[in-house]
Amino acid sequence: MRNWNRKTSSSKLSSVSISFSTAAKGNFNHNRRTNSKVPENVDPTRTAFNKILIDKDIRQVYKEVFGEALAEYNANQVAKKHPERQKKDYYSAVCHDKKTEPFREAVVQIGNKDKQLPRWESNDILQKFLKRFQENNPQLMVVGAYIHNDEATPHMHIVYVPVATYSKGLKTRVSNDKALKQMGYKTWNDWKDSQMACLENLVREKGYDREYMHNTNKHEPDVQKFKRVQKEVERLANAKLENMELPSIPEPKIQVNPINKSESVKLSKIEFEQIKQVMNYQQTQITSLEAQKSVL
């Protein structure tokens, strides 16, 4: 049995780490603790403290969300005399589609195994985050939300179905990338930064600062600022390339064929070796600059 009381007391904490990650697959049995075998990282004496906040039948959710669009799509296929193209069960169709996942999962965590808030405080923050998640992401239909207090650190699994709209074909479909873009996010990182900012604000409302783990630099939520820094690095590198001092290279001797007027360059062995040296020098400098850019 693990010692629940060994965790750091909140009265001694001024900051706490947070994390938000997503995966294309989840496990309902793990989330509900209905596995036939208890996972090694789970303390069954604390499973009673877990919370099931949302637990919907995903097939029923698919019928409610995609049913109308699916009926319209099937009717159009019949009208076009292609009844074989009908989709009888959209959930099953997505499950058998190698390019699409029927749902996605986010894991939200506050603290780590060595430094964390009391269970009731972290659980309160996680529940508030779930509410904000649903409000801020109207095209991510939450079908499950589970808080686990029986592992090393309290955390929450959010299972959601990303819903996007289309002008052709099946007009309502599962698509994570398109759902994020239709909610105003250019990239997945932009969306993740938004979720992290929301979680950080909730932690601050509790009176704690965010602790940045595993690096000396804070995570930069301002994506535009990062892009400006990246452009400046590119500019400096390109300027250095333009001002690069090259070894001297011989003036080419151009010969013109009197018959077809074609031009050719005649080089001595020494001149050819000089040109090779210049090319090797340029390549070395470019490789060095690329390495510097990568580090920056």
Tell me, yes or no, whether 236 and 104 share the same domain. Answer: no
Tell me, yes or no, whether 256 and 271 share the same domain. Answer: yes
Tell me, yes or no, whether 176 and 254 share the same domain. Answer: no
Residues forming beta bridges with residue 22, ordered by sequence position: 106
- For 217, residues 6+ apart whose C-beta sits below 8 A from its C-beta are none
Tell me, yes or no, whether 30 and 175 share the same domain. Answer: yes
Res 3: pLDDT:
44
Domain's final residue, options 167, 201, 221: 221
Tell me, yes or no, whether 125 and 253 share the same domain. Answer: no
Q: Helices 269-295 & 223-242, crossing angle to 10 degrees?
A: 160
- φ and ψ at residue 92, rounded to 5 degrees: -65, -40
Cβ(86)–Cβ(75) under 8 Å?
A: no
Residues forming beta bridges with residue 296, ordered by sequence position: none
Tell me, yes or no, whether 118 and 211 share the same domain. Answer: yes
- For 198, residues 6+ apart whose C-beta sits below 8 A from its C-beta are 129, 132, 133, 136
Tell me, yes or no, whether 164 and 277 share the same domain. Answer: no
Residues forming beta bridges with residue 52, ordered by sequence position: 146
Tell me, yes or no, whether 230 and 211 share the same domain. Answer: no
Beta strands in the chain (DSSP E): 15-16, 18-23, 51-55, 104-110, 140-148, 155-165, 172-174, 209-210, 253-256, 263-266
Domains in the chain, number: 2
Show the domain range for 254.
224-295
Res 205: pLDDT:
93
Beta strands in 1-111 (DSSP E): 15-16, 18-23, 51-55, 104-110
Q: How does strand 15-16 pair with strand 209-210?
A: parallel
Q: Over its length of 296 residues, how does the chain's per-residue pLDDT go in tens digits?
A: 444 444 444 446 788 999 999 987 788 999 999 988 888 889 999 999 999 999 999 999 999 999 999 999 999 999 989 998 898 899 999 999 988 999 999 999 999 888 889 999 999 999 999 999 999 999 999 999 999 999 999 999 999 999 999 999 999 999 999 999 999 999 999 999 999 999 999 999 999 988 876 543 444 445 555 566 666 666 666 665 566 555 555 566 677 677 766 677 666 777 777 777 767 666 666 665 655 555 44
Res 137: pLDDT:
97
DSSP 212: P
Domain's final residue, options 188, 221, 254: 221
- For 119, residues 6+ apart whose C-beta sits below 8 A from its C-beta are 49, 149, 154
Tell me, yes or no, whether 127 and 187 share the same domain. Answer: yes
Tell me, yes or no, whether 57 and 195 share the same domain. Answer: yes
Tell me, yes or no, whether 97 and 234 share the same domain. Answer: no
Res 35: pLDDT:
87
Res 8: pLDDT:
45
Domain's final residue, options 167, 198, 221: 221
Give this prediction's pTM. 0.68
Tell me, yes or no, whether 234 and 152 share the same domain. Answer: no
